Structure 1
Amino acid sequence: MNILLPAVSLLLVASGPAVAQRPDAEAAAVQRTIQTFFAGMRAGDSALVRSTIAPGAVFHTISNRGGTTQVQPESPADFLKAVGTPHQQVWDERITFDKVLVDANLASVWTPYEFYLGSTFSHCGYNSFQLVKLAAGGWKIAHIIDTRRKEKCK
């Protein structure tokens, strides 16, 4: 019995790092999906952006008009059409990953951003992404909601 306890303890300690690596790998995969979304947006490649979006995805933006906070729906189909329609300036949303939370097939990601039209600053805010891991296709964006403002960035 004395030999069994140290052996079991050793197995538990040795298996710890393997278990701890899994969430990091999933968080990295979630980040890649979001990076691909913005790479497609910068390239004007609606097919690349579409590849990151789950069926039935929902987009929202939060605005403050006349001192009143409003939640406005945005059509993913209209967004994809706009991305794929030629435009003079590159749509360059520069993000950093503030928080990436993963549990099973659900991920929540918080990213501060600054948006540029070409090299000209347009607006900033925060994105909140909800992603799902689908059996076919891996991590996909199910919901995006963001804030938009011109000052007090980060």
Structure 2
Amino acid sequence: MNLRTTTLATLAAAAFSVLAGGNVQAKDTFSAPQREALGAVDALFAAMAKHDVDASRRLILPGASFVVVLPDGTVKIEPDTGYLDALGQHKEAFRERIWDAQVMVQDNLAQVWAPYDFHVDGKLSHCGVDSFSLVRNADGWRVAGVSYTVQKVGCAPSPLGSVK
């Protein structure tokens, strides 16, 4: 897998929507802090879908890392700056959907874990599991790191249905 493909996969981890995209689990089952943490993930996904580098930069802690586990088991690590640079260069339409999110919050630390599917220009690219680490500071919840798997074949159909 080349750097462009890896970067595209990195963009996938920060993609389209927990709250606005229709997470199949009822949003009212989450506490207020859990909903706030999910809102930060959602905001990052929305910024990615718009290729909005400035909004993304405000949502990511400087020095955050993006870690991808590729189908062959190779692990690639990219700094926040690599993610932001790539986001500004890509023009394809990105949409990632997550469902069945597990959200853990303790004081100013949160973890969001969820299966996802990722679409480029309306077509399924890959699926996997996203894991977001978030930290709450004076600016609110910010992404401290994203780790995810990439599965190119054998993706189960999403419970969210087809992409519209």
**Pairwise same-fold verdict (TM > 0.5):** yes
Contact 1:130–1:144 under 8 Å retained in 2: yes
Q: 1:36 to 1:81 in 2, by over 3 A?
A: same
The structure whose Rg is larger is 1
SS in 2 for 1:151: coil
How many equivalent pairs are there? 128
CA distance in 1: counterparts of 2:100 and 2:49, whole angstroms = 18
From the superposition, tell whether residues 151 and 86 of structure 1 become closer, same or farther in structure 2 (CA, over 3 Å). Answer: closer
Aligned CA RMSD, in angstroms, stands at: 1.8
The answer to whether the 8 Å contact 2:62/2:80 transfers is: no
Question: What secondary structure sits across from 1:51 in the alignment?
Answer: helix
What corresponds to 1:108 in structure 2?
111
Q: Which amino acid aligns with 1:37?
A: L
List runs of 5+ in structure 2 lacking aligned partners: 1-29, 157-164
Alignment of 1:75 with 2:79, yes or no, is yes
Task: Name the residue aligned to 2:50.
Answer: 43
The ranges of structure 1 where at least 4 consecutive aligned residues each deviate by more than 4 angstroms after the TM superposition are: none
* Amino acid of the structure 1 residue aligned with 2:139: G
Alpha-carbon contact 2:64-2:79 (below 8 Å) kept: no
Query: Going by fraction, where is helix more abundant, 1 or 2?
Result: 1
TM-score (norm 1): 0.76
Q: Which has the higher contact order (CA 8 A, sep 6+)?
A: 2
- Bigger share in strand: 1
